[in-house]
Amino acid sequence: MSDSSLPAPTALPAADRPDVAARLRDALLGASFTADGLLELLGAPAYAALARSETVPALRATRGDTPLELLVRLFLLQQPVPAARVADVLPVPECLEAGWLTRVGGDELAATVDVRPYGGLDGEDWFIVSDLGCAVGGAGGIGSREEGVVLGVGGASTTLAGITVRTPVGSALDLGTGSGIQALHASRHATRVTATDVNPRALHITALTLALSGAPAADLRQGSLFGPVRDDETFDLIVSNPPFVISPGARLTYRDGGMGGDDLCRTLVQQAGERLNEGGFAQFLANWQHVEGEDWQDRLRSWVPRGCDAWIVQREVQDVTQYAELWLRDAGDHRGDPAEYQVRYDAWLEEFEARKVKAVGFGWITLRRTGSAVPSVIAEEWPHPVEQPLGDTVRAHFARLDYLRDHDDAALLDGHFRLVGEIVQEQVGLPGAEDPEHVVLRQQRGMRRATTVDTVGAGFAGVCDGTLSAGRILDAIAQLVGEDPALLRDRTPAQIRLLVEQGFLEPAH
């Protein structure tokens, strides 16, 4: 649905001039145009305001004449800057020739794309390229733009980057690469990175992001979902922050996949299984419908392909009105004609009503290919704050599932366990009561889970330092509390299993 009244997208810098990208990169780094440099220059409030698409505080903080202020105005705030001043900081003739800069008026230069400094997980100084006005703050007011606009880094992008398992692998696929942020992360630990997108402009921008960040080029392929992947091709890692928005009709390529309801996310999950190598991970952000009369967990479990373990975490649920408003605002519709806003809002609710959708869940779906005859599929709700990056936590979750699958209760009692670091115990009960009503174990790291245990569970966890087997610890506790050891051995494995599954205890090898 292209609208001829929309502004035409600007011409992009040449993707086949890595020499110019390298010179530009050196110049940007030389002026401290980095994530740290930006935060220091703007200060936390103005920096945070940018993430809300509010540029006034940043404009006020960059009224000076230093090279860094100049670059922020040029590449993040879409301000024309006097050519003579730019020449002191950037290789202007090359940047003009390769299309990173353009002349406006007689003696001013403007950027053709946004460039946002972005710090990698290991402190790398990277740059994310996106369409003008899209580097920060997601898409507030994007509705007045061309449908193929390419956004920069949003909250969803960094969430996926944070939860991705970062073990070294041979091959990684970033499906729906957009600005290339996930491909850029993957380039650090995957020998070969393939990045796909339906939008050719996104692939062009991904090439620029990688070149400007000094990362190896990726194998860029245009097409929908797994279409660009050859039949015989499989990957060690698949990541996708897909266009997951459930909407009454496709409008913006970056968020609307063009399939009805949550079919795009379901298709992605279902088709990922056969694209994964044994032991490989597929990690997705997704939205899913809560349909009247259906259990959301059962619905999501039914998506999991054969031969894969899965961990599905629902982080948030919104009712249909909140959901419609969120995406109407994302498109800037709330700033337009009120009558049109009403029509759009109504269309959204009509769509949900027709599909019997009551609410929409937001969350993470991780698959791991195991080929196990007994797949482990966990669908849970965890809306509380977590500690990013979570990649190691995700990897360890699946390793513990392997352990539990391989150990029946007798083997579990022969096993040795260690209490994971930085777990605290909280006792909950009425003020002044002698004994707590219940005991809570709380993780300070990773998923930051809390779980209620009985006094045996708490005592057991406290003793676990890997020295004694679980059975020996239970025998000692039985003696202490005057309980039959056989009965205790019988009833406790379920609790130990839960503590291992949730990452409070880990097998001590």
In the chain, how many H helices and how many E strands?
A: 20, 19
User: If we measure between CA atoms, which residue out of 37, 211, 193 comes closest to residue 185?
Assistant: 193
d(CA 91, CA 106): 19
User: Using the 8-state DSSP alphabet, how is residue 1 labeled?
Assistant: -
Give the nearer residue to ligand SAM in terms of CB position, either 79 or 271. Answer: 271
Shortest distance (Å) from residue 452 CB to ligand SAM: 36
Q: Which range touches ligand SAM (CB under 6 A), out of 249-257, 274-282, 381-389, 409-417? A: 249-257
Residues of span 170-229 touching ligand SAM by CB under 6 A: 175-179, 181-182, 196-199, 202, 224-225
Please tell me whether residue 253 binds ligand SAM under the rule CB under 6 A. yes
Shortest distance (Å) from residue 493 CB to ligand SAM: 41
Out of 241, 314, 366, 492, the residue judged to bind ligand SAM by CB under 6 A: 241
d(CA 420, CA 450): 13
Give the nearer residue to ligand SAM in terms of CB position, either 113 or 202. Answer: 202
Q: Which range touches ligand SAM (CB under 6 A), out of 30-38, 118-126, 252-260, 331-339? A: 252-260
Give the nearer residue to ligand SAM in terms of CB position, either 159 or 502. Answer: 159
Shortest distance (Å) from residue 163 CB to ligand SAM: 12
β-strand 169-175 against 190-197: which pairing, if any? parallel
Q: Which range touches ligand SAM (CB under 6 A), out of 235-243, 346-354, 384-392, 455-463? A: 235-243
State the alpha helices, DSSP H only, in 283-431.
296-301, 320-330, 338-354, 391-406, 409-414
Shortest distance (Å) from residue 32 CB to ligand SAM: 25
Give the nearer residue to ligand SAM in terms of CB position, either 101 or 282. Answer: 282
Shortest distance (Å) from residue 149 CB to ligand SAM: 9
Cβ-closest residue to ligand SAM?
178
d(CA 261, CA 255): 13
Out of 91, 117, 257, 446, the residue judged to bind ligand SAM by CB under 6 A: 257
User: If we measure between CA atoms, which residue out of 174, 180, 172 comes closest to residue 206?
Assistant: 180
Give the nearer residue to ligand SAM in terms of CB position, either 118 or 417. Answer: 118
CA distances from 288 to 23, 246, 254, 262, 378 (A): 44, 8, 17, 6, 16
Element holding 314 (H helix, E strand)? strand 308-319
Residue 263: CB partners within 8 Å, gap ≥ 6? none
Please tell me whether residue 261 binds ligand SAM under the rule CB under 6 A. no
Shortest distance (Å) from residue 240 CB to ligand SAM: 7
Give the nearer residue to ligand SAM in terms of CB position, either 224 or 372. Answer: 224
Give the nearer residue to ligand SAM in terms of CB position, either 31 or 181. Answer: 181
Shortest distance (Å) from residue 134 CB to ligand SAM: 11
CA torsion, points 137, 141, 145, 151, in degrees to nearest 10? Answer: 20
Give the nearer residue to ligand SAM in terms of CB position, either 34 or 253. Answer: 253
Out of 67, 137, 138, 243, the residue judged to bind ligand SAM by CB under 6 A: 243
User: If we measure between CA atoms, which residue out of 218, 121, 231 comes closest to residue 178?
Assistant: 218
- Determine how many CB atoms are found less than 10 A away from the CB of residue 434: 6
Q: What are the φ and ψ backbone dihedral angles of 79, each rounded to 5 degrees?
A: -100, 130
d(CA 361, CA 167): 29
Pull the structure tokens for residue 306. Answer: 């054969």
Please tell me whether residue 141 binds ligand SAM under the rule CB under 6 A. no
Residues of span 119-138 touching ligand SAM by CB under 6 A: none
d(CA 24, CA 92): 9
Shortest distance (Å) from residue 150 CB to ligand SAM: 6
Shortest distance (Å) from residue 29 CB to ligand SAM: 23
User: If we measure between CA atoms, which residue out of 194, 222, 6, 27 comes closest to residue 115?
Assistant: 27
Angle at 124 between CA 148 and CA 181, to 5 degrees: 20
User: If we measure between CA atoms, which residue out of 386, 219, 419 comes closest to residue 313?
Assistant: 386
Pull the structure tokens for residue 313. Answer: 């975490």
Out of 55, 112, 157, 314, the residue judged to bind ligand SAM by CB under 6 A: 157
Shortest distance (Å) from residue 224 CB to ligand SAM: 4
Out of 160, 172, 447, 500, the residue judged to bind ligand SAM by CB under 6 A: 160
Contacts with ligand SAM: how many residues (CB under 6 A)?
23
Shortest distance (Å) from residue 196 CB to ligand SAM: 6
Sign of the alpha-carbon dihedral angle for 280, 283, 288, 293: positive
Binding interface with ligand SAM (CB under 6 A): 157, 160, 175-179, 181-182, 196-199, 202, 224-225, 241-243, 253-255, 257
